Each structure stands twice: as C-alpha cells, then as structure tokens.
Structure 1
Amino acid sequence: MRTTLDRLRHTLLFEAIGILIVLPLGSYAFSLAPSHMGVIGIVSAVIAAVWNYLYNLGFDHALRRWRGSLRKGVTMRIFHALLFEAGLLSILQPLAMLYLGTDALAAFSLVASLAVFYVCYAFVYNWAYDRLFPLPAAAATAPSAMPQRH
C-alpha cells in the first residue's frame, strides 16, 4: 500500500500535469481563450475529485448491499468506470453550457473530449508514476487485507 503522502503527491501531480496539458490543447482544439480553458480545466478537476469520492463511496455501499462484497471482476470494473464517466459528464455538461453560453452539442463535445483525454492520460500517468515511484518490494508483494479499489 502507498502512504498518505505518496497518494497526495500522486493526486497533486496528476491534476497539475493534466491541467498543464489540457489548457493549451483544449484552447487550441475548441478555439477557447486560455483563461476560459483554465477555468473549465480547474473546475472540472475539482468536480471530478469530489465526484470520485462520492461516487466510489456510493458505489461501494451499493455493491456491498447488492452482492455482499466489494470485489470487482473485469466486467464490474468496466461498468464502474463507464458509470463514473457518465455521471461526471452529466455534471459537467450543463456547467460547460452555462459558462460558455453554448448549446448542448458543443458542451458535450468539450466535456466528452476531456473525459476521453483523462481516461488515456490516467492510464499513461499511473504507469509512469509506478515506474518513477515504485512500491517498496515488501509492499508490492504483501497481500492486502483491504479490497483493491479502482
């Protein structure tokens, strides 16, 4: 298991690097001023972090009630990830519409693009992070008493 400080470093680096990538690419791809893309990127990151906590808490309670266990196989993990993204898109789309004063399709295009970017980015980031900051050998091989989380 990683320490609390390591998890904090992981989260802060993830968000900071993500915003540094999203700001110029999003500004260019959607012809938005960097200030607008910055607001969208930062607000989206904060909402995603809060949603992540609330969603996983609710999902775990529902899973425990439904199945009596928190274990997730491949199918459940795919369902978990897709439901997370659908919920996040439903939160961010109306906010993007209001902030940018645009229609539903344009807002959906923006937030769906962010979602696709962050799914790919999370894969690469987590792989790189695990290589740059590997778990100590004992922690990597020791079985965990706690169920693994997504």
Structure 2
Amino acid sequence: MTEKMEATERVFQAVLFEVLAVSLSILGLALFTDHAIGALSGTMIIVATIAMCWNFIFNWFFDRVATGAKEKRSLLFRVFHVILFQGGLLIFTIPVIAYILNVNFWQAFIMDIGVTFFITLYAFTFNLVYDHTRAYILRSKKSAHAVNV
C-alpha cells in the first residue's frame, strides 16, 4: 500500500507544479499574443494562484473518491483526472483573464483554451513523473531503513 500524502507534501507538489506551469505559460502566451510580458506575468500569477488552490481542493476530494496506489493508475484514468481538473479550472479563470487583459470573454476563452491545452499535457506528464518518483523515493527509504535495522 502506498503512503498517503500529508498536507505539506501536497503544498510542495502544487507549488512546484505551478512555478513550472506559470513560467512556461508566460512564454507561450508571449509568443502567440501581442500582450506585454508584464501584463501576461501578472495575469498568469493570478491564474496560477487560482489553479493552485483548485489543485489542492480538487485533488483532495478526488483522492478521497479514487483510492489505491497512484502510480498504478491507468492511462485512461489519468486522462479522466486531468480533464475534470482543467474543465473546472476554466470556470474560474476565463473571467479573470478577460478582466485583467481587457479582452472579451471569447478572446479570454481562446487564450485560456490554448493555455489549458498546454497545461493539460504538462499536468499529465508532471503527475506521472511525480507519482513514479515519489513511489521510487518511498521504496528507497523503506529499503534503506530495512538495511539499517
């Protein structure tokens, strides 16, 4: 049985995810829009803060429903997880993007969909790597502890 994540690790995971996501999203938006880096940076920091809170809340509830070893989750299950997460996040972020960048909801939706598409692929990869790395570290600690006992 895999050890459950404590709140501290959940915060670490969310912050690591968001720092990387914000940096990559700002670069992507700068390439595909005419908005200034400063405006995009501020917008993405706010969006990331919303996403970080949503990540913590969503995954806390999701893990209560979806029990078992995370590293053994199927590809289809991981796709389902990320689609639910990103769909919920769109509801919160489209109005924020529209307001801060002074664009209409359609433009905000298009920008958010672009970021969401990228982040969806990123989230899938990040969580897969994180879960397997975590499982490896836990196994290594358990093995080291067994050798030292």
For normalisation by structure 2, the TM-score amounts to: 0.67
Tell me which residue corresponds to 1:31.
Answer: 34
- Structure having the larger proportion of residues in helix: 2
CA distance in 2, matches of 1:53, 1:11: 7
Answer yes or no: is 1:47 the counterpart of 2:47. Answer: no
Change in Cα spacing, 1:55 to 1:101, as seen in structure 2 (3 Å) is: same
CA distance in 2, matches of 1:78, 1:51: 18
Q: Which runs of 5+ in 2 are unaligned?
A: 144-149
Using the TM superposition, give the Cα deviation of residue 46 of structure 1 relative to its aligned residue in structure 2, in angstroms.
Answer: 0.9
Q: Is the 8 A contact 2:14 2:52 kept in 1?
A: no
Q: Is the 8 A contact 2:18 2:48 kept in 1?
A: yes
Change in Cα spacing, 1:139 to 1:3, as seen in structure 2 (3 Å) is: farther
Tell me which residue corresponds to 2:117.
Answer: 116
Using the TM superposition, give the Cα deviation of residue 103 of structure 1 relative to its aligned residue in structure 2, in angstroms.
Answer: 1.2
Tell me which residue corresponds to 2:139.
Answer: 138
CA distance in 2, matches of 1:125, 1:80: 13
Tell me which residue corresponds to 2:19.
Answer: 16
Answer yes or no: is 1:97 the counterpart of 2:98. Answer: yes
Using the TM superposition, give the Cα deviation of residue 79 of structure 1 relative to its aligned residue in structure 2, in angstroms.
Answer: 3.8
Counterpart amino acid of residue 51 in structure 2: A
Q: Is the 8 A contact 1:96 1:107 kept in 2?
A: yes
Change in Cα spacing, 1:13 to 1:27, as seen in structure 2 (3 Å) is: same
Q: CA RMSD in A?
A: 3.6
Change in Cα spacing, 1:105 to 1:36, as seen in structure 2 (3 Å) is: same
CA distance in 2, matches of 1:112, 1:126: 20
Q: Which segment drifts farther, 51-60 or 130-139?
A: 130-139
Change in Cα spacing, 1:80 to 1:30, as seen in structure 2 (3 Å) is: same
Q: Is the 8 A contact 1:2 1:135 kept in 2?
A: no
Using the TM superposition, give the Cα deviation of residue 73 of structure 1 relative to its aligned residue in structure 2, in angstroms.
Answer: 6.8
- How many residue pairs get aligned? The number is 136
For normalisation by structure 1, the TM-score amounts to: 0.66
Query: Taking every aligned residue pair, what percent have the same amino acid on both sides?
Result: 24
Q: Deviations over 1:86-118 (max 9, x none)?
A: 111011001111112211111001111111111
CA distance in 2, matches of 1:21, 1:73: 27
Q: Which runs of 5+ in 1 are unaligned?
A: 64-68, 143-150
